[in-house]
Amino acid sequence: MKDNALLLKNIIWYDIDKNGYINKCFKNEGAIYIYKRNLSLYDKTRYYVGSSVRLANRINTHRWCIINYNKCIERGSGSPIFYRSILKHSWYNFKFGVLEYIDLSKIMNTKQKRKTLLDKEQYYLNSINPSLNVCKIADSPLGIKRNTIFSVNLSKSRRGKSIRSAVRICTTPKVVTNETRLKISSRCQGVNVKVFDKSNNFIKEFPTITSAALYFGVNTKTISMIFKTGKSYDDYIYKFEVKYNRIWVYDIKYKLIKVLDSIKKTSIWLNIPESTISDYIKSNKLYKNKYYFKNIETTNI
């Protein structure tokens, strides 16, 4: 099937530098994307089509696979024709575009999200017939020829492991006590997240790690890992500020009663003014012979 000119007519193409960086920052959202290679006026334009739930992550993955090409080949991952073409002609001779953004916000099931993307990707594979795609069926290994090294490594990785035919189902219900919830809550910290681009230009601020993860369409563990390691997974710079705004409430014997997210929630819970709680935190005095208020966890128990 010949290239479908109508599908490619309105694409905005972005330049790529020699290191594989595209001159635009993309969000982690669902999309069908395309790379094109055009060496000269006499060279036939070649395309590679792919899809991803998280576009920014996929772009970074392609760049990583070029740098670590041998590892990718050993694992049998990626698209070998596409990667070999980049290694031969360099990123500089490629351009990047988005065929279609897919709104997956209303789909909660992960498998359904992937199926929605793959159906769209298959439509573009059939229409464009990209020559740099090994597989002509979306998310299928059909068409990939594995080398001997891949087969040997696969055999080694599975050696001594038993493959179970059924998933083990736990019939015992998991019970989380109030004491456990209290301990988990007391360990949690509020974290403010500020996001900047590569030029250190401010983009957006988030009150929590969860809200930042929702905005970029990634798991909260991803942002938490950046917070712990200081290493960004994409082209953004993340700056974190820990907010010690939780309130620990103790009784007269310094036994922990409750942990609340803020002075406001503590005020509502006990039906007393916020200013009163603040004063007793500063003075470290016992309130009405009942409660001690702390804004950090005390060890005097």
- Determine the Cα–Cα distance for residues 122 and 126; give it in Å rounded to an integer: 6
Q: What are the domain boundaries of the chain?
A: 11-153, 178-243, 247-294
pLDDT of residue 178: 60
For tokens 């609340």, name the residue. 260
Class of domain 11-153: alpha beta
**Which tokens belong to 279?**
């004063």
- Determine the Cα–Cα distance for residues 137 and 140; give it in Å rounded to an integer: 6
- Determine the Cα–Cα distance for residues 23 and 20; give it in Å rounded to an integer: 10
Q: How many residues can be counted in the chain?
A: 301
With a cut of 50, say whether residue 186 has pLDDT above it.
no
Average pLDDT, the chain: 82
pLDDT of residue 301: 41
Q: What is the mean pLDDT of residues 2-25?
A: 84
- Fold annotation for 178-243: Arc Repressor Mutant, subunit A (1.10.10)
- Determine if the pTM surpasses 0.75: no
Q: What is the mean pLDDT of residues 86-92?
A: 93
Q: What is the pLDDT of residues 274-286, one digit of tens each?
A: 889 989 988 989 9
Residue 210 exposed, middle or buried by CB count within 10 Å (0-12, 13-18, 19+): middle
pLDDT of residue 182: 54
Q: What is the pLDDT of residues 124-137, one digit of tens each?
A: 999 998 999 887 78
State the DSSP string of 225-258. Answer: HHHHH---SSS-EEEEEEE---EEEE-TT--EEE
- Determine the Cα–Cα distance for residues 96 and 20; give it in Å rounded to an integer: 10
Most confident of 4-18, 93-107, 261-275, 285-299: 93-107
